[in-house]
Amino acid sequence: MAVTPEVLVDLIKDAETTRASMEAERFTTEGVLRKLVEAIDEVSSEEHTYRATLRRRFPNYVVEATTKSTDHTLELWTNLSRNNAVENAIKEVNAKHATVSPADIEECLKAHGRSDDRDQIGGATAYLNREKRIHSLGRGRWVFGPARETPRNDFGPAVEAGPREASDNEISGQGAIITGAFGPS
């Protein structure tokens, strides 16, 4: 077959048609995938709520995860240092929930193939807090990232201006004569 402009134009049209078909299929697949990810997140949040309720109402009752995580980063988590693994667990859980408890961290680490206990997790959270990589909003309520700095006012709390009484250590200013460098000339 000889290469002519007509042949090339036909090949271009075929390629455009195939590409358009594939893009439409990709768009449809992305929509389905997005819905699936949302559904997984919703069920995961529901599971987390049930586990938290169980821990709160029945603290001595332990439920092991019946399914392993299908996350392909499992190998990576087992090779991380404990501090980095705990930091990643806090990031992951904090993306779905406002605060993260040590039990949440332990559960996330187990889902990623680690077997760190609460004492080890406590040590890691203390280190990460000192390094300002996480901060606490109260006992066992961790949040990823450093605590927000509150604006500091070196002059104390704002006070509404107005008349006040002079203290024993102040000159009232009534009839006081100022002398010196700034006094009357």
Looking at the domain covering 74-144, what would its CATH class be? mainly alpha
Cβ(72)–Cβ(123) below 8 Å: no
Task: Identify the bridge partners of residue 143 per DSSP, sorted by sequence position.
Answer: 135
**pLDDT tens per residue, the chain (185 residues)?**
788 999 999 999 999 999 999 999 988 888 888 888 788 878 888 888 888 888 888 877 777 766 655 544 455 787 889 999 999 999 989 888 888 999 999 999 988 888 899 999 999 999 999 999 998 888 888 888 887 766 555 555 544 444 555 555 555 555 555 555 555 55
Cβ(49)–Cβ(96) below 8 Å: no
CA angle 122, 124, 126 (to 5 degrees): 70
Structure tokens at 172: 């009232």
Taking the C-alpha atoms of residue 29 and residue 133, their distance in angstroms, rounded to an integer, is 37
Every domain of the chain and the residues it spans: 8-63, 74-144
Q: Could you tell me where the DSSP H helices lie in the chain?
A: 5-57, 74-79, 82-94, 102-111, 118-130
Cβ(106)–Cβ(63) below 8 Å: no
pLDDT for res 40: 83
Displacement of CA 111 from its chain's centroid (Å): 18
DSSP state string for 120-168: HHHHHHHHHHHTTSEEESSTT-EEESPPPPPPP-TT-S----------T
Structure tokens at 170: 């102040």
23: buried, middle or exposed (CB in 10 Å: 19+, 13-18, 0-12)? exposed
Answer positive or negative: Cα dihedral of 30, 36, 39, 41. negative
What residues have CB less than 8 Å from 20, skipping those under 6 apart?
A: none
Structure tokens at 11: 């090949």
Give φ, ψ of 144 to 5 degrees: -70, 140
